[in-house]
Structure 1
């Protein structure tokens, strides 16, 4: 056995016993939240970078902040076809695929794997050596199909990129309508990417008032790669950044929870006023108490908004959503909401 293999196996065993410290997990979450806030305030990135961002979103979803063991965060576990069929998320994904494309019921599962509590991936191929393949990357919590890849669905030797723009759009529209539901409400934009090596098109489906695509599709050669991005429409209420502060610097970790129009209505104050109250060292719970609003009322409002956002984009009647009840999702988000509303800014420097 080589020294490299010995070292690899030793590190693998050590990683299985390691736990991500809560403090480190919180630092990672805060840093990531700050990164998102900065990016949201900037213009849309260049098209050539978007593909990398989509890939990163698939590999490092926010569910990773739950601080599982390090090996669970890094290791993808292979699954057999039978395991996929009895797995709740895998079964729901297959049912959705079979309903959208009945011909795939005869496809065989050639590859499958999962990252516990994060993602389940399934690849199916048509029997007979035609090469017609479809891959699903499914959210391990909500069951939503976040990324789908179609390969070789066109006649052999005829890449999609030789088609007219309208024909490409028609084929992508059919995929999106069939798998995700009606896309009539979305605005559409299609551009050719700056890729001298291979002709590539990017198609964005955007909700009115949003700067981020809800669905984003790449067409290259014989492949269509579609991702659920989930861009939100720009709300009418003013958004504030850095509700809390740490060591005298803005802390953005709670912004996604506190920029909630229903919360502001409950507290009878705007986001700027809430930020001022929190800057004085109060918690959201204490601010609410001064308005005769209970902690539970605050939790209910924020948790409901978070769950609604999480479910957005999933077609009505989705099997995974049915299996995971609304009440279960609310209970799952409540600990995080509680952490946010009980948090206080550091008003004095630590000695």
Structure 2
């Protein structure tokens, strides 16, 4: 008897965490391949993910796996893991409570999860008070990731004309960037681990570019790169000062006899390393997977290093 494949061959996203206040997270499109429910249950990453979910919410043991897939190489090598694995579970019957989990195939960490329809249709999540919503989110994070005593939370309503949406940022005390970022809309909660730093780095600056006279943080996660500073032989403060003159990173690099491709390669490799961190556990990505990720991330890097701050014209 043939195993039933869950989900077709689709393009899916890897979320690479960005700095706080940055533009939307970097999303790279790679090929996602389907998995059967049976494959998920015997796979090392899939099994560990399900165990975490079942421990946090015992009732999900009776849920069906309605969709599953993995992102990465279709290799049988024992020392190569997939980049990301996704699992969707729902109450039997095809309606009701639903959970979607995306797990880092290298570290085994659940990068983000979405909980849908856990409140009655008559009183969906978004109709609750701010305090009630915050309590629901706190409970979800506490059960799936651990105690929140060391975190501070900021909640704000997003400007979304189509659907009422709240964003909650959970930041560790002493950190400037969120560790958990949550979106609440309709009857769903989506939690993402964006991994803020607990101690500010002396080698990083904020707002490399500016817009309308105000700091623009969209490029910070790309440019706060020790390897980039080493390549350009300059400090982050010096780089920011050069960019403030209306130059692009490419132009600054050229003045240092560094090619555009060298800059792209350095930044892209750092971004990939952030995504697949955890190779200290003995897992590695094949060269083919790395090359594919480099190719996909390059347009994003180029848009950053060719960007310029608009300088005011002197009268």
The answer, yes or no, to whether TM exceeds 0.5 is: yes
CA distance in 2, matches of 1:132, 1:166: 22
Would the alpha carbon gap of residues 76 and 208 (structure 1) be closer, same or farther in structure 2, given more than 3 Å must change? same
Asked if 1 retains the 8 angstrom alpha-carbon contact of 2:176 and 2:200, the reply is no
1:44 aligns with 2:21: yes
Taking the TM superposition and a 5 Å limit, the aligned residue runs for 1:183-202 are 183-202=148-167
1:175 aligns with 2:140: yes
Match of 1:18 in 2: none
Asked if 2 retains the 8 angstrom alpha-carbon contact of 1:125 and 1:133, the reply is yes
Asked if 1 retains the 8 angstrom alpha-carbon contact of 2:67 and 2:88, the reply is yes
Q: Which has the higher helix share?
A: 1
1:92 aligns with 2:69: no
Taking the TM superposition and a 5 Å limit, the aligned residue runs for 1:221-260 are 221-235=186-200, 237-239=202-204, 256=225
Q: Identify which of structures 1 and 2 has the higher relative contact order when contacts are C-alpha pairs closer than 8 Å and 6+ apart.
A: 2
Asked if 2 retains the 8 angstrom alpha-carbon contact of 1:212 and 1:231, the reply is yes
1:144 aligns with 2:119: no
TM-score by length of 1: 0.53
**Secondary structure of 1:168's match?**
helix
Taking the TM superposition and a 5 Å limit, the aligned residue runs for 1:249-288 are 256=225
Would the alpha carbon gap of residues 195 and 240 (structure 1) be closer, same or farther in structure 2, given more than 3 Å must change? closer
CA distance in 2, matches of 1:280, 1:127: 62
Asked if 2 retains the 8 angstrom alpha-carbon contact of 1:44 and 1:211, the reply is no
Structure 1 residues 275-321: Cα deviation after superposition (integer angstroms, max 9, x where no partner):
9xxx999xxxxxxxxxxxxxxxxxxxxxxxx89x946xxxxxxxxxx
Would the alpha carbon gap of residues 133 and 331 (structure 1) be closer, same or farther in structure 2, given more than 3 Å must change? closer
**Secondary structure of 2:170's match?**
strand
1:121 aligns with 2:86: yes
Q: Which has the higher strand share?
A: 2
- For structure 2, the 5+ residue unaligned runs are 1-8, 10-15, 73-81, 207-220, 229-234, 240-254, 258-272, 291-315
1:328 aligns with 2:293: no
Would the alpha carbon gap of residues 330 and 210 (structure 1) be closer, same or farther in structure 2, given more than 3 Å must change? farther
TM-score by length of 2: 0.58
Match of 2:264 in 1: none
**Secondary structure of 2:282's match?**
helix
1:108 aligns with 2:85: no
Asked if 2 retains the 8 angstrom alpha-carbon contact of 1:150 and 1:224, the reply is yes
Partner of residue 212 from structure 1, selected from 172, 177, 180:
177
- For structure 1, the 5+ residue unaligned runs are 1-11, 13-32, 61-72, 242-251, 260-270, 282-305, 312-323, 337-351
CA distance in 1, matches of 2:85, 2:31: 12
**Secondary structure of 1:231's match?**
coil
RMSD: 4.1
CA distance in 2, matches of 1:214, 1:147: 12
> In the TM superposition, what is the alpha-carbon distance from 1:235 to its structure 2 partner?
2.4
Structure whose CA Rg is larger: 1
> In the TM superposition, what is the alpha-carbon distance from 1:152 to its structure 2 partner?
0.4
> In the TM superposition, what is the alpha-carbon distance from 1:129 to its structure 2 partner?
4.4
> In the TM superposition, what is the alpha-carbon distance from 1:256 to its structure 2 partner?
3.7
Would the alpha carbon gap of residues 331 and 108 (structure 1) be closer, same or farther in structure 2, given more than 3 Å must change? closer
Taking the TM superposition and a 5 Å limit, the aligned residue runs for 1:124-135 are 124-135=89-100
> In the TM superposition, what is the alpha-carbon distance from 1:158 to its structure 2 partner?
1.6
Taking the TM superposition and a 5 Å limit, the aligned residue runs for 1:64-79 are 74-79=30-35
> In the TM superposition, what is the alpha-carbon distance from 1:184 to its structure 2 partner?
1.2
Would the alpha carbon gap of residues 188 and 255 (structure 1) be closer, same or farther in structure 2, given more than 3 Å must change? closer
> In the TM superposition, what is the alpha-carbon distance from 1:254 to its structure 2 partner?
9.5
